[in-house]
């Protein structure tokens, strides 16, 4: 393995860890997820990956940047929904962020450890939804409707990520890929 391949693996590993750790708290974690996706994209470029993998990783970076930028922009102007005076539909501007994150976890070139960790983080996201639903059941005074909340979107992204990770793991198993193919 030459220095360029080693550097590529290190960038992908550090970027992948940042993307996974940031997803534990997706809002504040965007400050780790965005640069993490940039490191993964840079690792794919430096590692001389196939053109489709590089294109995919750059698309993931762009989606995360657009969605996180919209999230920060909306926060600066007071958010959306509720008493902000802006419709909940403004939340669609943030959607590229979690979609890009999910694609970045299970997309081509993702190492096996990232797929398994993506399942774990996504289960955590589903647990957060269950906690919010449980609070609304035990505390009926809470008036925020759960189906209008970002928690439903987060849970859907969690399910999408689990599905994508399981599909990628099954694809590797069915193609007879050994542990050496699990490398980034």
Helices and strands counted in the chain (H then E):
6, 0
CA distances (Å), origin 84, targets 49, 76, 133, 146, 151: 45, 11, 24, 18, 19
> What pLDDT, on the 0 to 100 scale, is given for residue 182?
45
The residues, ordered by sequence, that sit 6+ positions from 37 with a Cβ below 8 Å of its Cβ are 15, 19, 57, 60, 61, 64, 100, 101, 104
Q: What mean pLDDT is reported for the chain? A: 85
Q: pLDDT, tens digit, for every residue of 99-158?
A: 999 999 999 989 999 999 999 999 988 887 777 766 666 666 555 555 556 677 778 888
> What pLDDT, on the 0 to 100 scale, is given for residue 123?
92
Percentages (nearest 5) of helix, strand, coil residues in the chain: 80, 0, 20
The residues, ordered by sequence, that sit 6+ positions from 45 with a Cβ below 8 Å of its Cβ are 54, 57
Distance separating alpha carbons of residues 12 and 18, to the nearest angstrom: 10
The average pLDDT across 22-49 equals 92
The residues, ordered by sequence, that sit 6+ positions from 89 with a Cβ below 8 Å of its Cβ are 80
> What pLDDT, on the 0 to 100 scale, is given for residue 82?
72
Residue 106 structure tokens: 């299970």
Q: pLDDT, tens digit, for every residue of 65-94?
A: 999 999 999 888 887 777 777 777 888 899
> What pLDDT, on the 0 to 100 scale, is given for residue 180?
45
pLDDT above 90 for 160? yes
> What pLDDT, on the 0 to 100 scale, is given for residue 144?
54
Contacts 24+ apart (CB under 8 A), 17-21: 19/101, 19/104, 19/105, 20/105, 20/114, 20/117, 20/118, 20/121
> What pLDDT, on the 0 to 100 scale, is given for residue 179?
46
Distance separating alpha carbons of residues 173 and 28, to the nearest angstrom: 35
Would you say the pTM of this structure is higher than 0.85?
A: no
């Amino acid at each position: 393995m030459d220095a360029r391949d080693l550097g590529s693996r290190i960038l992908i590993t550090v970027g992948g860890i940042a993307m996974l750790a940031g997803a534990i708290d997706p809002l504040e974690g965007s400050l780790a997820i965005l640069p993490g996706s940039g490191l993964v994209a840079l690792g794919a470029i430096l590692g001389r990956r196939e053109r489709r993998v590089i294109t995919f990783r750059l698309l993931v970076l762009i989606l995360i940047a657009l969605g996180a930028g919209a999230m920060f922009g909306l926060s600066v102007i007071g958010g959306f929904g509720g008493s902000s005076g802006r419709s909940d539909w403004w939340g669609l501007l943030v959607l590229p962020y979690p979609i890009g994150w999910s694609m970045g976890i299970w997309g081509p070139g993702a190492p096996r450890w990232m797929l398994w960790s993506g399942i774990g983080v996504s289960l955590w996201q589903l647990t957060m939804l269950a906690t919010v639903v449980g609070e609304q059941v035990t505390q009926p005074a809470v008036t925020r409707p759960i189906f209008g909340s970002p928690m439903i979107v987060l849970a859907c992204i969690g399910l999408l990520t689990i599905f994508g990770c399981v599909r990628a793991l099954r694809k590797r198993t069915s193609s007879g890929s050994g542990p050496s193919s699990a490398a980034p």
